[in-house]
Amino acid sequence: MNIWILDSESGITLLYKPYMDLPIDEDLISGLLAALNQFTTYELKEGIESIEMGGLRWAYLEEKNANLLFVATSEKNISSNMLRARLNIIKQAFIEKFVSKDREVWKTLWKGNTELFISFKDTIDEYYSQWLTAEDISTIAEYFDILGVFQQILNLLVNVVEGHFTTEKKENIYIEIESMFTNYLSHKYVQSNPELSKFSFNRITGINIINIDPTNCDMLVVEKQIINLVRRITEMIKHEEGYYVTLHYFIEENVFDYLLSNMALLNELNLFKFLLQLFLFK
């Protein structure tokens, strides 16, 4: 797995962290990656999510408000969903460290000095070490698949709120979610299971569940909590907008397309029926 963090407008590399030895020019490939994303955004009105190129799998995530583009590549034994989920962890960690606290400061922080971001390579190393450990254990690897699926589902739910709710209704939902997280984190069973406290919500970066280390917790407990989280947020959205309107939003945000295109994986994880019923039923 190799990771790029780029200025999405100029294509300049803020940070590059390679784990695979690829015969490529770092600066040249950075410009190409940014150019591909710009082309699809302007011509097709939608950025790249994932592609296969040069015998590798590539995943893209963009943070438009900060003019950042996050790109990861790996061998094809890593699914596109998992690659994007891992890249999302890195994206959220980077934004939280350098961008979220004050976006005005961020605009003046990045002036071509890439040394500002070198320390973030240690953060990537920590995550990468966890992922390598998990890949050596089939059951743990399956749980990483589960985390990746639910992270994508939660991202889609946030997209529904961001893309369709009025300012007032969006505020109502976010207040409910913040209250839910506050109450959740205060529970004794969360305090006695430190990995559960890694669930987080931020209005800028969204909901993050994938920081959990499956090697350091009871994943059956974790999965139960994630399922409850997804169910409650889905119910909040339905309650705020009504069933039929919400169903239309789910269709527009490609929720059902995601379920159908990943049916094999979801069936393997025993999640397809649950998720389909959750989004389809009143």
Nearest to 22 by CA among 85, 71, 92: 71
pLDDT band at 128 (very low <50, low <70, confident <90, very high): confident
What residue has token string 């939902």? 173
With tokens 């995601």, the residue in question is: 258
Task: Give me the residues paired with residue 207 across strands.
Answer: 201
Cα–Cα distance measured from residue 259 to residue 279, given in angstroms and rounded to the nearest whole number:
10
Give the pLDDT of residue 30. 67
Please say if the pLDDT value at position 35 is more than 80. no
CATH 3.30.450.70 domain span(s) along the chain: 2-135
Whether the Cβ atoms of residue 83 and residue 57 lie closer than 8 Å to each other:
yes
Give 176's pLDDT tier (boundaries 50, 70, 90).
very high
**Structural contact between residues 133 and 127, judged by C-beta atoms closer than 8 angstroms:** no
- Asked whether residue 234 carries a pLDDT value surpassing 90, the answer given is yes
Q: Is 79 exposed, middle or buried (0-12, 13-18, 19+ CB in 10 A)?
A: middle
Q: How many CB atoms lie within 10 A of CB 95?
A: 21
3-class secondary-structure state, position 69: strand
- Phi and psi, residue 202, nearest 5°: -140, 135
Region 112-118: mean pLDDT is: 78
Query: Is the confidence at residue 10, as pLDDT, over 60?
Result: yes
pTM of the entire structure? Answer: 0.56
Digit-coded pLDDT (tens) for 137-168: 446 667 777 888 888 899 999 999 999 999 99
Q: Do 1 and 86 contact (CB within 8 A), yes or no?
A: yes
Query: Considering the domain 2-135 in this protein, what is its CATH number?
Result: 3.30.450.70
pLDDT in tens, 43-90: 555 656 667 767 788 888 888 778 888 988 888 777 777 788 788 888
H helices within the chain, ranges in order? 26-44, 80-98, 103-109, 120-135, 138-164, 167-186, 188-191, 219-241, 243-252, 255-261, 263-268, 272-280
Instruction: At 244, list the tokens.
Output: 């039929």
CA-angle at 178, arms to 249 and 150, nearest 5°: 55
Do 211 and 195 touch, CB atoms closer than 8 A? no
